[in-house]
Structure 1
C-alpha cells in the first residue's frame, strides 16, 4: 500500500516560508479547522498565546494531489547544505534552449518573491538536461528542473 507523505521544513518564520512555497508551487495555505474563519481565531480558541501562533504553518495542493508541506519553527538557523531538497518541475518535457528559457523565467519569478539564485547547470545530454539551483527565503536549496 502506497503511503501519503508530508514534507517538513525546519525554519525561523513558518508563515513567511509557507507563503513563499505556496507561491512557488501554486499551493494554498491549509484552511483552518471547521467552524473558524481564520487560523488566528482557531489558535485563540485553542488557547495558543499570540507569541506562539507562528510556530507552524502548512500549505496544500488546491486539488489535494500533492504532498502537504509543513513548516515548523526551530531555534537554530540553517548551517549546511540540505540532504533532501525539492525539485520544482518548471520545464517538464522541454529540452535545450526552450527548457533553459522556461527555467530562467521561473527563476526570475521566484526571485521576485525572495528566492536566491545559486547556480545554473547547463544541459549535458544524454543524462543531464540542465537545471537551476535556487534557495528559498531562509536558504533551503531547491532545484528548478
Structure 2
C-alpha cells in the first residue's frame, strides 16, 4: 500500500502564509475536491464556527500534483516554540561548492524579499529561515 502525506501549518493569517509558500515552493492553489467548483462551496458542507471563513485556510499543491500538499489553517493561539517538524527546500544547484553555496544564498535572499527571515547560516551547507509567522525551514542545495 502506498500512502501520501500532507503537511499542515497552523497560523494566524492563512492568506499571508499561502502567498509566501506559493513563492517559496512554486506551489499553486489546490482546486476544491469534486464535485465542488469553489472552496466556498466545499466549506459550506461543514458546520463552521461563527466568524470563520474560507480566508481562514489555504490549500496548496505542486502544479503537477507531485510532492506533499500544504494546508495552512488559522488557529487562535500563536506559535510559542520551535517547530518539531520543518520543511527543507532543496534548490537546484550545479558546479563547485562555492557556486552551489552562492545559489543557496541567492535563494535565501529571494525568500527574504518574499517575507522570510534568515535565522542562521551553516556556511557552505544550508540556511535556516523563518516564514512570515516564524515557522522554521531550511534552504540547501538539492542532493544530486
TM over 0.5: yes
Structure 1 gap segments, 5+ residues each:
124-129
After TM superposition, the runs of 4+ consecutive aligned structure 1 residues lying more than 3 A away are: 32-51, 91-95
Between 134-143 and 26-35, report the one with greater CA deviation.
Answer: 26-35
How has the CA–CA distance of structure 1 residues 96 and 70 changed in structure 2, closer, same or farther, with 3 Å as cutoff?
A: same
Q: How far off is 1:106 after superposition?
A: 0.6
Between 1-10 and 33-42, report the one with greater CA deviation.
Answer: 33-42
Q: How far off is 1:32 after superposition?
A: 3.5
| Count of residue pairs the alignment pairs up | 139
Structure 2 gap segments, 5+ residues each:
none
Q: How far off is 1:109 after superposition?
A: 0.9
SS of 1:52's equivalent in the other structure is coil
SS of 2:70's equivalent in the other structure is strand
| 1:27–1:62 CA contact under 8 A, matched in 2 | yes
Q: Residue 71 of structure 2 aligns with which residue?
A: 70
How has the CA–CA distance of structure 1 residues 108 and 50 changed in structure 2, closer, same or farther, with 3 Å as cutoff?
A: farther
| 2:30–2:60 CA contact under 8 A, matched in 1 | yes
After superposition, the C-alpha distances for 1:7-63 in whole angstroms (9 at most, x for unaligned) are 011111112112211111000011245576653566568786894122221100110
Q: How well do the aligned residues superpose, as a CA RMSD in angstroms?
A: 2.3
After superposition, the C-alpha distances for 1:95-116 in whole angstroms (9 at most, x for unaligned) are 5111111011111111111001
Q: Residue 142 of structure 1 aligns with which residue?
A: 137
Q: Residue 13 of structure 1 aligns with which residue?
A: 13
Between 46-55 and 95-104, report the one with greater CA deviation.
Answer: 46-55
Output the CA distance in 2 between the equivalents of 1:49 and 1:91.
43
